[in-house]
Structure 1
Amino acid sequence: MGKLGKIAFVPLDERPCNYEFPYLLAQGTEIELVRPPIEMMGLKKRPGDTHKLWSWLEEQAADADGAIIALDTLLYGGIIPSRLHSMEHSQVAERLQKLRSLKERNPNLKIFAFQLIMRCPQYSIADEEPDYYADWGREIFRQGYIGHKRELGIASAEDLEELEEIGRRLPSEIMDDYMLRRSVNIDVIQDVLGWVTEGWIDFMIFPQDDSAPFGHTAKDQQRVRAMISELDLELKTYMYPGADEAGCTLLARMINDGKGRIPLVYPRMAAVQGPFVTPLYEDRFFYESLKYQILAAGGLIAASAEEADLVLLVNTPGETMMEADSQEHPFLSYDVYRNIIELVEYGNYTLVHKGKPVAVADVGYANGADRKLVKLLKQKEMLFELAGYAGWNTSSNSLGTVIAQSMLYLHYGRTAQHLDFLSLRYAEDLCYCSVVRMGLNQGEVEAMGFSKFELDGRRGEVSRLVKQQIAEELDKRINGPQGQVEITDCYMPWNRTFEVGLSVRYHSST
């Protein structure tokens, strides 16, 4: 790629994980990462202003070295609007045509893009889906799941009875609407693959959000996989579990590409069965996703710690992945089928005696950090010595985030901005996701007269309570002689408890 200076970045949506994380990772580097004003980005189900977003991108890309683009934002207005729109294929394809002008005006522009394959959640909640999903979501999922198994000849008699019952109850107009949107989205993906073939897009990722081995999404993935193979695009187009981490992943890939470097990462597992666990919300053994996440960020798995540029401590489950809020009740497999004590001791040895960068992928639980692991890291005085840490949302979300941060660490070292991002991870992944949110969902917000899906606004009473509680947990679990974490801002981005918006600052204790 040659020199790296300016990168134009179009995020997947306006939540901090998409809008802020890649921007924060780029701070403290020589990269000028520019992003659209937040006002253009829309809000949850309200689409972003695609006309303004395209104009912004065309202007910024004219003198940029690279562009990292969430196509769902430019085509539909964001990740949620991509599941809600009523556009026909021709309308979306017309928007896609504008991509051509970016390279026509700036032939040296490197374009790395990503686009989601539409998910199909297993539950009847309309928070991020069409309104009818509140009544029919479970049936839509089961219809696809059992229908797929029937096509493969592996549906049981009970499955087929259930499918028949769903067919009698599920309104045909709802199913038609849902399937038409899926069809449009897949047709657009086929268009995008043509753009990769022609060289208008240099590298492409199709992350799989909330994937399952059977169902509507699995069938769409098969179709896309066949298209990729038919066009001989396997080396330029990846498809694997993930979504909200993809902006970080492509930033790391662009920087590694620009510097002509392929970092070698040695993963050290907490459990012998860890590589063979299928994480919650994903469709394959953990180790297969890990390979893709390292590969997509521009690296490769090392054969040994000796040859590696980075050692990645991977806190896998021992057998089956649980949600982070289950830590209140210990499970045998977490205590007996894995060994996080050895993992931490090995990491400390690598840091202290080998002088090699060490990062932590905290993927033992879904939707939050492992409290015990972070406690051990603090006891070994490792928290603020790490090259990266993440333990939020899905396994792949965490993997992509920590791999990106640690690869940037290899280039730029222990900057103030690196320490701030580490601090953010501890405040959010551990203190909020694994501790504070559980209390909110178990009665605290209801006692205040709200629900976990509808609070009192982005900066209401709930956000003030959250800030206070996170600060208390930081004092208890993170702050100490190695450093202190100060919260400078706290808000609730989508007016619900699931995610928090935080700004934090690291302070040295010395």
Structure 2
Amino acid sequence: MIKIVLLPMDERPCNRRYAEELFSHDDIRIVCPGKLGNKKEPADIHEIVSFLEQECADADGLVLSMDMLLYGGLVPSRIHHLSSCDLAQRMEVVKKIRVRYPSLKIYAWHCIMRCPDYSSDEEEPDYYEQYGAMIHKIGEAVHKSRVDMCDPGEVDRLLRRMDQGALDDYVSRRAMNKAMNLKALDFVDAGVIDALVIPQDDSAPFGYAAMDQKEIRAAVVERNLMDKVLIYPGADEVSLTLTARMVNHLRGKKPSVYIRYASEQAKMVIPIYEGNSLENTVKSHVISAGCRICDTMKDADFVLMVTAPAYRIREANEQPSLDPGYLTERNLPELLDETEECLRRGKPVVICDNAYGNGGELALIRMLNKLKILDKIAGYAGWNTSANTLGTALAEGVDFDAHGRSQAHMNFLMERYVEDCGYMSNVRWKIDSLLGTKNLQDGIDLSPFSYTEVGEERGVVSQLIQKELEHYIHTDMSSVSERVQIEDVWMPWRRMFEAGIRVWYQFNE
């Protein structure tokens, strides 16, 4: 029995549950903490340390979120008031675990602090509600001025409109978090951490996050750590990615992946919320998952079908897009035909549905349903950012390569169809518009990210969502609907942006 200890980045299902759901089998046990924080409320560091000390004693691998260990979670990393001394002491926990359990494999990740381009304090400091967009613009202007792409006077003009106290607070916390990113490199260099991922959460080509990334990349090169440290767009999928890598390492295999794009031009697309070309990000994710890219489909352990358009990726609530990048320069019928051919040859297919941001492509699911191959696919993902989708899809490919079409795997696959497309691209917007009527009357503006509050984890809203999702299953997933059952629906952070959904699939081997 392989035992992997996972310290997730926060308590949301994508971080807390996905890896455990997908990779738990008779021969693999994934262990997570029973209690974490709650959005802006950080987890108890003493409980986290106790969990690690106890569970790592007989573990084969540790997949560790530095954001959870240092700050108590991803959102707390953006609002904390911890001192450098506090953070250094928490970092030493990893060193103590390495000394106590020298044979333990340790994979870790530590996010570069994001800088969203919109004004909302939903997951940021309170002043971000008023100054968020301005802080982003200032960071972008500072960065561009340093590379002679912007008039230096633009920075001064923006600063005159900004609250200096708020900016000082934001910049100082960024500096502290970046120092911990760099400190993690010391741990890799010393062999305390075996492999490190530094994800760029909601990144962009220019701005504070991009400047931090450049400095950290330079440090990685200077310390000759490129074989052990990866920096790429992503965040919420990394627990899945590094668990996949740990599974591959412990089973002594590096699965080969053949990448197929619906549009060759998509390789150069920079997805929304990201700052790197798609092709480069795909390569980084493949390496991070402990896999390798192969040149021919024949040599692949599984095929990754990428649905991205030729040009700009749009939001899921804008579909179907009639842009040429979707309709004329992207050949989805050919990708589907190739998918069917792979299945006929017995070649596992995983679909990275990154055609849209913040939800899967409704037309794609309907086509998979029409072709009656929803349950023949080895993996599917289509949620939030392109990187979130990519990492999840690759993890499914790794699990399928290791365990085939198991009950756990099929549950997870069906859950992805229901949640990523059924909820995020369909039901979420229906329910959100109903709630929005009252919210608008109360003077609350609906954001494009669907942060509408619902008041409780389980209640009228979650029941309404479940009813709508059951309808979605019977219509858009009719070929498998008799075998799919929704067991639970809840709202982890009491908002519409994400939902916790547990699905059971009647699987007969």
So what's the TM-score if we normalise by structure 1? 0.95
Amino acid at match of 1:14: E
Cα pair 2:375 2:480 within 8 Å, conserved: no
After superposition, residues 91-102 of structure 1 pair within 5 angstroms as 91-102=86-97
Query: C-alpha displacement at 1:52, in angstroms?
Result: 0.8
Cα pair 1:28 1:416 within 8 Å, conserved: no
From 220, 223, 229, the counterpart of 2:215? 223
Instruction: Check if 1:435 corresponds to 2:435.
Output: no
Instruction: Check if 1:57 corresponds to 2:48.
Output: no
Query: C-alpha displacement at 1:485, in angstroms?
Result: 1.6
1:262 aligned partner? 254
1:373 aligned partner? 364
Cα pair 2:411 2:504 within 8 Å, conserved: yes
1:11 aligned partner? 8
Instruction: Check if 1:348 corresponds to 2:348.
Output: no
Cα pair 2:474 2:481 within 8 Å, conserved: no
Query: C-alpha displacement at 1:398, in angstroms?
Result: 0.5
After superposition, residues 82-481 of structure 1 pair within 5 angstroms as 82-156=77-151, 160=152, 162-328=154-320, 330-352=322-344, 354-447=345-438, 452-480=451-479
Deviations 1:44-95 (A, max 9, x none): 0000111110111111111111100001101100000000001121210111
After superposition, the Cα gap between the structure-2 partners of 1:103 and 1:379, relative to the gap in structure 1 and judged at 3 Å, is same
Query: C-alpha displacement at 1:192, in angstroms?
Result: 1.1
After superposition, the Cα gap between the structure-2 partners of 1:249 and 1:9, relative to the gap in structure 1 and judged at 3 Å, is same
For 1:340 and 1:332, how far apart are their aligned partners in 2?
Answer: 13
Cα pair 2:436 2:452 within 8 Å, conserved: no
Amino acid at match of 2:337: E
SS of 1:458's partner is coil
For 1:80 and 1:233, how far apart are their aligned partners in 2?
Answer: 28
After superposition, the Cα gap between the structure-2 partners of 1:444 and 1:482, relative to the gap in structure 1 and judged at 3 Å, is closer
Amino acid at match of 1:12: M
Equivalent residue pairs, number: 501
SS of 1:62's partner is helix
From 76, 81, 88, the counterpart of 1:81? 76
Deviations 1:175-229 (A, max 9, x none): 1111110111111112111111111101100011011111100000011111111
Amino acid at match of 2:251: K
For 1:466 and 1:136, how far apart are their aligned partners in 2?
Answer: 33
Cα pair 2:372 2:479 within 8 Å, conserved: no
Query: C-alpha displacement at 1:331, in angstroms?
Result: 3.0
Query: C-alpha displacement at 1:460, in angstroms?
Result: 2.0
For 2:306 and 2:325, how far apart are their aligned partners in 1?
Answer: 16
1:22 aligned partner? 19
Deviations 1:102-146 (A, max 9, x none): 122211100000000000000111100000000000110000101
2:490 aligned partner? 491
Cα pair 1:127 1:453 within 8 Å, conserved: no
2:506 aligned partner? 507
Cα pair 1:25 1:405 within 8 Å, conserved: yes
Amino acid at match of 1:33: I
Query: C-alpha displacement at 1:376, in angstroms?
Result: 1.3
SS of 1:254's partner is helix
Amino acid at match of 1:290: V
SS of 1:273's partner is helix
Deviations 1:394-443 (A, max 9, x none): 00100000101111101100001111001100110110001011123334
Cα pair 2:473 2:481 within 8 Å, conserved: no
SS of 1:164's partner is helix
Cα pair 1:325 1:438 within 8 Å, conserved: yes
Query: C-alpha displacement at 1:509, in angstroms?
Result: 9.4
For 2:492 and 2:476, how far apart are their aligned partners in 1?
Answer: 25
Query: C-alpha displacement at 1:299, in angstroms?
Result: 0.7
SS of 1:306's partner is helix
Cα pair 2:353 2:361 within 8 Å, conserved: yes
SS of 1:199's partner is coil
Cα pair 1:195 1:201 within 8 Å, conserved: yes
Cα pair 2:410 2:507 within 8 Å, conserved: no
After superposition, the Cα gap between the structure-2 partners of 1:494 and 1:482, relative to the gap in structure 1 and judged at 3 Å, is closer
For 2:413 and 2:274, how far apart are their aligned partners in 1?
Answer: 26
Task: Decide which moves more: 113-122 or 190-199.
Answer: 190-199
For 1:475 and 1:482, how far apart are their aligned partners in 2?
Answer: 5
Instruction: Check if 1:36 corresponds to 2:33.
Output: yes
Task: Decide which moves more: 320-329 or 72-81.
Answer: 320-329
- Across the aligned residues of Structure 1 and Structure 2, the Cα RMSD in angstroms comes to 1.6
SS of 1:98's partner is helix
Query: C-alpha displacement at 1:471, in angstroms?
Result: 0.9
For 1:289 and 1:248, how far apart are their aligned partners in 2?
Answer: 16
Deviations 1:461-493 (A, max 9, x none): 111111111111111111325853211000111
Deviations 1:368-412 (A, max 9, x none): 111111111112221111111100000010000010111110110
Amino acid at match of 1:309: D
Instruction: Check if 1:45 corresponds to 2:40.
Output: yes
Query: C-alpha displacement at 1:497, in angstroms?
Result: 0.5
